[in-house]
Structure 1
Amino acid sequence: MSSNSLFVSATEAEWTSPEPGVTRRVMTYLPEMMMVEVVFEKGAVGQLHSHPHVQSSYVAEGRFEVTIDEKTRVLERGDSFIVPSNLVHGVKALESGRLIDTFTPYRAEFVK
C-alpha cells in the first residue's frame, strides 16, 4: 500500500503481530493521518506506552479495560477514547475484540 492510495482493499493490508494475542493492519494513511485495525484475543494486552502522536480509538467489537494517564475505564462496542500526545496508555481485552485506531500524524514505524 502506498501513502497516495485513496482506496484500499482489506486484502491489500498486511497483518503483523506486535504483541502476543494482538494482530494489526494499517488500513490507510497519509502523512497527516493513519487508520489501523487492531484485533485482540481475550486477555491480550496492549502494554502501557506513549508516543508523540494523537490517537483516537473506536471499539468495534468486544470489551476493553483502557488506561490513559493512570485512569482506567471499561469500554465496549461503540465506545471510543482519545489519547493526547505523550500520555501513557494501554488496553487489556476483557473478551475478544477489535479496535480501530486513528493516529495523527501517521506512525511511520508501522509502514514498511
Structure 2
Amino acid sequence: MQPYTLPEDTVWTEVAPGNRRAVLSHRPELMLVAFRFEEGAIGALHSHPHTQVSYVAEGHFDVTVDGVTTRLGPASSFIVAPNLVHGVVALTDGLLIDTFTPCRRDFLTDQN
C-alpha cells in the first residue's frame, strides 16, 4: 500500500446524481475520502458501524445527525458516532473530506 495519493491517481466514483467520492488514503484502521457535491445534491440519510469525522472544505451544507439539522460552511466539521443516522444536502457546490474508522471496505470495491 502506497503512503501517498497523487491527484492524477485519484479515482472518482458517482454515488448519486451530483455526488461523487474518491478514496484518498486508507489502512485497515482508518480511511480518508473526498465527497464532491453539486448544488442541490443529497447525501441520503444512512448509518454505518464506523465512526466518521467530516470537514467542510468548500461550500455550504445542511447536515443532519441523529435527527438534528445544522447549516455548516467552509472550515466547519462534524462527527458521527457509529450507527447514527446522518446525511447532507448541498446548498452550493461543495467538498467534504471524511475520515472513517475503521476503514470502509465497501468503498474499496469500486476502486480500479
TM-score, normalization by structure 1: 0.95
* Structure 2 match to 1:94: 91
Superposition misfits of 4+ residues, deviation over 6 angstroms:
none
Residue 62 of structure 2: which of 26, 43, 65 is its match? 65
Tell me, what secondary structure is at the counterpart of 2:13?
Answer: strand
Percent identical among aligned pairs is: 51
Where in structure 2 are the equivalents of 1:17-56 lying within 5 Å?
17-56=14-53
DSSP 3-state at the match of 2:4: coil
Could you tell me which residue of structure 1 aligns to residue 13 of structure 2?
A: 16
3-state secondary structure, aligned to 1:85: coil
Within 1, Cα distance between the matches of 2:9 and 2:57? Answer: 21
Q: Which runs of 5+ in 1 are unaligned?
A: none
| Aligned length in residues | 109
Distance in 1, Cα, partners of 2:8 & 2:81: 31
* Cα distance, 1:8 vs structure 2: 1.2
Cα RMSD (Å): 0.6
Distance 1:85 1:5 in 2: 28
Find the aligned partners of 1:100 and 1:19 in 2 and give their Cα distance: 17
In structure 2, distance between residues paired with 1:69 and 1:43: 21
Consecutive unaligned residues in structure 2, runs of 5 or more: none
Residue 37 of structure 1 aligns with an amino acid whose one-letter code is A
